[in-house]
Structure 1
Amino acid sequence: MTKAMEGKVVLVTGAGRGVGRGIALDMARAGAAVVVNDLGVALSGATETGLSPAQEVVAEIEAMGGRAVADGHSVADWDAAQAMVQAALDSFGRIDAVVNNAGNLRDVLFHRMTEEEFDSVIAVHLKGSFNVSRAAAPHFKEQGSGAYVHMTSTSGLIGNLGQANYTAAKLGIVGLSKAIAIDMQRFGVRSNAVAPFAWTRMVSSIPDDTPEQKKRVEGLKKLVAEKIAPFVVALTSDAGKDVTGQIFGVRNNEIYLFSQPRPIRTAHTSDGWTPETVAERVFPMFRNDFYPLHKSGDVFTWDPV
């Protein structure tokens, strides 16, 4: 691997396992110093014992001759996010990229979802991405450069069953990424969203009770978490300096550029609309272009390559 990130400092959240771990390791291989953030808890939020996942990844990076520090703060807390960025400054003197990868799941059908199940997912994914991004923003602005990568999901871009909280958070992250790209373009700062397809500890909590669910899970198991990292490294390197405000996907050896919402049909009347004329004219006119209630698996039907 070339040293595409030589001299740069990267903060990767949720980097103790899965996709985040792969990104942290590849960032180090590319020459970056890495702040490896991971709360070190079970998917349920319960505290785990032993050497923290973040410390384990730091040890791996140091063993390959790289530089890294572990951070155990929660992205859901504003002050903790500030501390993460400060750890980069204290340890390595600067910060050049933020990868918002930390996540959790509380899958449940919408009509059974509790307020806590909704709030906890929004707090980690959406609010957490805001907290960490906002903490780095003044430093990016001052140095006139910086890169954000925010992890979205096809659950947000397309939809999935039993994930109203996760879907809302992940589509919200797309909006957040675009807003950051617009607001900080003048300072040479870029922001992009990536939907990773990967079999990870978080994804392994998906139910497999029915034949359809089992088939889906078996397909997901073919998705290698480490395959996401090369694209993220390229995106945050100087080679990606002109890429901003986009939505990408990485699925094993496939890379996608996703569309973004734009009008696809219009209806106009010089007389103004009434409920009756809308029902009579607009709905029939638009019907052929309505999107069906697809779930992610309905769109990505081919085996990963």
Structure 2
Amino acid sequence: MSPPLADRICLVAGASRGVGRGIARALGEAGATVIVTGRSSQAGAITDGRRETIEDAAHEVGAAGGRGHPYRCDHTSEREVDTLVSWALRRFGRIDVAVSSVWGGNEGHDGERFADGSAWGDPFWRRPVARFGHLMETGPYAALLLARAVAPAMVSARRGLLAFVSFSTEEGYLGDIHYDLATAGLNRLALACGEELRGHGVTALALTPGRVRTERAADAGLDATESPLFAGRALAALAADPDAARHAGRNLHAADLARLYGFTDIDGSQPERFRP
């Protein structure tokens, strides 16, 4: 049998590291062609001194069984996002799945404090507001730029999946005012896009990972419950589901999707929902 996504063209924004990289790899496992985008490239600049690049991530897609294509893009630039999507449509003819995993919220963090001197969870009246603007730019704004660029082609084709990596706020405050507001914005964006695209054959939704063992988390020695591949397999399962439209506008937990679709993490486990 052919892999479930062997005929799909996917674009994963923010895939040089973290959850985005896990999603790209999982789509590759399912046989997809994956355009891997981000700012960190072997051929140019890297972000925050990190060693991971889009070329490495694209290679992982190929090693997993798919076809990876790196493309350097600053997803806070409308011009660069529009150029990326135009290139993808010329090269592949369509985009079946688009994922925004762009997030600059951890840039400049030394393990204890951010560059502005604040720490996670400091009271809002002691927090400089400039960092909040950065989170909104690298979260909801970047996601909206991608959605706006890919939606016309998906609407024309009357098919497509548009997903935003976020974190659910349904159970209450997330413990940090900047993070809470930015993720709430992503969740409302998923709701709004889900409503506006529903009648055009396109499904938009948000995806909540758990406590992920990203490269940053591993370097800092932080405890984690799941690998980036777990959320990736959740997204791949949604992309392969012919009835994914029933999830439109919702924020879905990777742990819940594991039980719905039957996939596991890289170690064979099915981690429980992470509750901060």
TM-score over 0.5 (shorter chain): yes
C-alpha separation between the residues in 2 aligned to 1:245 and 1:252? 16
Q: Is the 8 A contact 1:149 1:236 kept in 2?
A: no
What do you get for the CA RMSD once the two structures are aligned? 2.9
C-alpha separation between the residues in 2 aligned to 1:13 and 1:204? 22
C-alpha separation between the residues in 2 aligned to 1:112 and 1:205? 28
Q: Tell me the residue number matched to 1:185.
A: 198
- 1:245 matched to 2:245? The reply is no
Aligned residues: percent identity?
22
Q: Which digits, 9 at most, give the CA deviation of each residue in 1:82-140, with x for residues without a partner?
A: 12222321332210111111112254622232232011100011101100011001101
Q: For residues 20-35 of structure 1, what are the structure 2 equivalents within 5 Å?
A: 20-35=20-35
Q: Is the 8 A contact 2:39 2:47 kept in 1?
A: no
C-alpha separation between the residues in 2 aligned to 1:46 and 1:64? 25
Q: Is the 8 A contact 1:227 1:252 kept in 2?
A: no
Q: 1:111 to 1:205 in 2, by over 3 A?
A: farther
Name the SS for the 2:186 alignment partner: helix
Question: How many corresponding residue pairs?
Answer: 243
Larger Rg, first or second structure (1 or 2): 1
CA shift at 1:15, angstroms? 1.0
Q: Is the 8 A contact 2:19 2:232 kept in 1?
A: yes
CA shift at 1:191, angstroms? 0.9
Name the SS for the 1:149 alignment partner: strand
Q: Tell me the residue number matched to 1:300.
A: 275
TM-score, scaled to structure 2:
0.77
Letter in 2 for 1:12: V
- 1:111 matched to 2:132? The reply is no
Which runs of 5 or more residues in structure 1 are unaligned? Answer: 209-216, 257-298
C-alpha separation between the residues in 2 aligned to 1:166 and 1:49? 22
Q: 1:255 to 1:247 in 2, by over 3 A?
A: farther
Q: Which digits, 9 at most, give the CA deviation of each residue in 1:161-210, with x for residues without a partner?
A: 3x22221111111111111111111110111111111122455698x9xx
CA shift at 1:14, angstroms? 1.4
Q: 1:202 to 1:84 in 2, by over 3 A?
A: farther
Which runs of 5 or more residues in structure 2 are unaligned? Answer: 107-119, 261-273
Q: For residues 1-305 of structure 1, what are the structure 2 equivalents within 5 Å?
A: 3-40=3-40, 46=47, 48=49, 53-64=53-64, 66-105=66-105, 107=120, 109=122, 110-154=124-168, 158-161=172-175, 163-197=176-210, 198-201=212-215, 217-218=222-223, 221-243=224-246, 244-251=248-255, 300=275
The farther-off stretch of 231-240 and 140-149 is: 231-240
Letter in 2 for 1:300: R
TM-score, scaled to structure 1:
0.70
C-alpha separation between the residues in 1 aligned to 2:135 and 2:36? 21
Q: 1:146 to 1:228 in 2, by over 3 A?
A: same
